[in-house]
């Protein structure tokens, strides 16, 4: 009997938690997983929510259990598995129904799926969901792309399950087709940069100031109630103070220093490069993860070169305070870049991405949630045409305060051989961005010299060539 309000396909950690969240909000949820045992286990573990869960062993029964017009959320591994599910559902669902891909899809796949969609097929929504398992269960941040009419239909349930920031749901329709998945990708790119910069600052405290994990945890705990107040700073403090009973040390000290990555950070960089909008801090963070994975090579290089000697070390509160401000400055660079990439993509794909709204729906629920995002939301609301976050009055003032500490930290780290590629990229980005007369005149001359590519002159009109070799 058709009784469920919405369905969820894929009962991995994210799908299962999202289904429970839906049920918790008073909706009846149909569930289906390719492995039937997983579906049964889910239904058995649903506890007090069990009577709002309709579990099916086949896709046909699952679709039949949904009230018409039907809405189905797919939460499976991005890529082929999504195409398989969409085509299986297309055969069972009809015009007026909606398929919602809630995985971390590459937005180009989402765009392709929209293009390939037949006129009379179910509608499609590409929905970015952030917040990990906990967010999926109790309120994630949700970024929606697709037809606005389709959004209107799913809006009540999506806003009900989303995180709330001061009562405002952290879910919004951001534009047509791939807009939601694109914004989720950039969210993750920024997440990479945020995490990398935190790790760099941790590295300075660990390897330069010789602080142990619990002491570093205390510093992060203090920062957690200042301008860096954010989920990532909170969990960093939590992680650093977690003791491992078997090893007798902080668990972080026995975790292998090779970071995984599933692709969203890399996609952010690829898209930023394709549009010619630099996201150097995100790029540095992605590269740092790749370098971290080359453990054997790094070990051989240390054996060959050793570590640089310490040449300078400041002690005490001065450096800790500089580290906090450097992190804030680095964060401004990463977010300015991420938002600039979104602004460019918005034009290129005709989405009309609402930057202030994006900042607003990232204030709670998602991995990068922070006080800082509330400030970004205000800055873009007050300055919707700002070419770069750094040029809004609030952030320009913040940069003026944090610029010198960032420089001091990056200089000290470089002098002492401590890797801070993402923080250093922030210095390079700002210094290049704010210098009206750069050095590309020389590059233009070189290009003209070897390839007659031409250049513009400040004292003449039109394309010019140099008198090379005359
Ligand atoms: C989120 C996270 C989530 C996931 C990433 C991690 O917003 O909830 O970003 O999407 O944790 O897949 O990506 P990596 O495995 O690439 O670090």
**Domain ranges, ordered by start, for the chain:** 6-177, 185-433
**How far, in Å, from the CA of 132 to the mean position of ligand 1?**
7
- Residue 316 is predicted with a pLDDT of 84
- Residue 171 is predicted with a pLDDT of 98
**How far, in Å, from the CA of 88 to the mean position of ligand 1?**
27
- Residue 312 is predicted with a pLDDT of 85
Homologous superfamily assigned to 6-177: NAD(P)-binding Rossmann-like Domain (3.40.50.720)
- Token pair of 317 as six digits: 């509160």
- Residue 408 is predicted with a pLDDT of 98
- Residue 284 is predicted with a pLDDT of 98
Contact 107, 178 (CB under 8 A): yes
Is 184 among the residues known to form the active site? yes
Is the shortest distance between the CB of 141 and ligand 1 below 6 Å? no
Is 191 among the residues known to form the active site? yes
Is the shortest distance between the CB of 130 and ligand 1 below 6 Å? yes
Whether the CA torsion 388, 194, 430, 224 is positive or negative: it is: positive
Contact 367, 191 (CB under 8 A): yes
- Token pair of 175 as six digits: 């534009």
Contact 3, 28 (CB under 8 A): yes
Is the shortest distance between the CB of 260 and ligand 1 below 6 Å? yes
Residue nearest to atom 11 of ligand 1 (CA): 132
Contact 180, 126 (CB under 8 A): yes
Ligand 1 pocket test, candidate residues 75, 367, 368, 373, most atoms within 8 A of CB? 367
Contact 21, 30 (CB under 8 A): no
Could you give the residue ranges of the DSSP H alpha helices within 101-178?
107-116, 132-138, 148-161
pTM over 0.95: yes
Kindly provide the b/e burial profile for residues 205-235, where b requires at least 16 CB atoms within 10 angstroms of the residue's own CB.
bbbbbebebeebbebbbebbeebbebbbbbe
Exposed, middle or buried, 131 (CB in 10 Å: 0-12/13-18/19+)? buried
Radius of gyration over alpha carbons of the chain, in Å? 25
Q: Name the pairing type of β-strands 123-130 and 98-101.
A: parallel
Residue 1 is classified by DSSP as -
- Residue 325 is predicted with a pLDDT of 98
Q: How far apart are CA 423 and CA 155, in angstroms?
A: 39
The sheet with strand 6-9 has its strands ordered as 53-55, 29-32, 6-9, 71-74, 98-101, 123-130, 141-146, 171-175
In which residue ranges of the chain is pLDDT below 70? 1
- Residue 469 is predicted with a pLDDT of 86
- Residue 2 is predicted with a pLDDT of 75
Query: From 1.10.260.40, 3.40.50.970, 1.10.730.10, 1.10.1040.10, which CATH number describes the 185-433 domain?
Result: 1.10.1040.10
Selecting among 40, 45, 67, 191, the annotated active-site residue is: 191
**How far, in Å, from the CA of 436 to the mean position of ligand 1?**
38
**How far, in Å, from the CA of 377 to the mean position of ligand 1?**
23
Q: Which atom of ligand 1 is nearest to the CA of 104?
A: 10
Contact 361, 170 (CB under 8 A): yes
């Amino acid at each position: 009997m058709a009784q469920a309000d919405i369905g969820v396909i894929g009962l991995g950690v994210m799908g299962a938690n999202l289904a429970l969240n839906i049920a918790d909000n008073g909706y009846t949820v149909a569930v289906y997983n390719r492995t039937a045992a997983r579906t049964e286990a889910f239904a058995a573990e649903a506890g007090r929510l069990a009577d709002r869960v309709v579990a099916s062993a086949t896709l046909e029964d699952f679709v039949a259990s949904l009230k018409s017009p039907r809405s189905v959320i797919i939460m499976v591994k991005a890529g082929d598995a999504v195409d398989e599910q969409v085509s299986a559902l297309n055969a069972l669902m009809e015009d007026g129904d909606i398929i919602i891909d809630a995985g971390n899809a590459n937005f180009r796949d989402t765009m392709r799926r929209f293009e390939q969609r037949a006129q009379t097929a179910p509608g499609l929504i590409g929905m970015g969901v952030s917040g990990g398992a906990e967010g999926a269960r109790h309120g994630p941040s949700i970024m929606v792309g697709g037809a606005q009419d389709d959004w209107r239909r799913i809006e009540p349930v999506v806003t009900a399950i989303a995180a709330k920031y001061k009562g405002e749901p952290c879910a919004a329709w951001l534009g047509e087709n791939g807009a939601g998945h694109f914004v989720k990708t950039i969210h993750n790119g920024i997440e990479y940069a945020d995490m990398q910069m935190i790790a760099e600052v941790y590295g300075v405290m660990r390897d330069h100031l010789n602080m142990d994990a619990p002491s570093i945890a205390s510093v992060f705990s203090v920062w957690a109630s200042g301008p860096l107040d954010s989920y990532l700073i909170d969990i960093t403090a939590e992680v650093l103070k977690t003791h491992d009973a078997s090893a007798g040390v902080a668990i972080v000290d026995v975790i292998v220093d090779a970071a995984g990555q599933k692709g969203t950070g890399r996609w952010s960089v690829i898209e930023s490069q394709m549009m010619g909008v630099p996201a150097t801090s995100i790029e540095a963070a992605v590269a740092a993860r790749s370098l971290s994975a080359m453990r054997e090579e790094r070990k051989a290089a240390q054996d060959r070169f050793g570590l640089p000697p310490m040449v300078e070390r400041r002690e005490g509160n001065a450096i800790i305070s500089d580290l906090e401000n450097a992190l804030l400055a680095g964060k401004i660079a990463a977010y300015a870049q991420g938002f600039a990439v979104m602004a460019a993509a918005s034009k290129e794909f005709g989405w009309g991405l609402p930057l202030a709204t994006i900042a607003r729906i990232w204030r709670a629920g998602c991995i990068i949630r922070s006080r800082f995002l509330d400030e970004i939301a205000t800055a873009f609301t007050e300055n919707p045409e700002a070419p770069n976050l750094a040029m809004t009055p609030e952030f320009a003032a913040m940069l003026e305060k944090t610029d010198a500490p960032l420089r001091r930290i990056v200089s000290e780290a470089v002098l002492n051989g401590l890797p801070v590629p993402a923080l250093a990229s922030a210095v390079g980005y700002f210094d290049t961005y704010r210098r009206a007369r750069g050095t590309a005149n020389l590059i233009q001359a070189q290009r003209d010299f070897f390839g007659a590519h031409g250049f513009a002159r400040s004292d003449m009109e039109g394309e010019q060539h140099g008198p090379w070799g005359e």
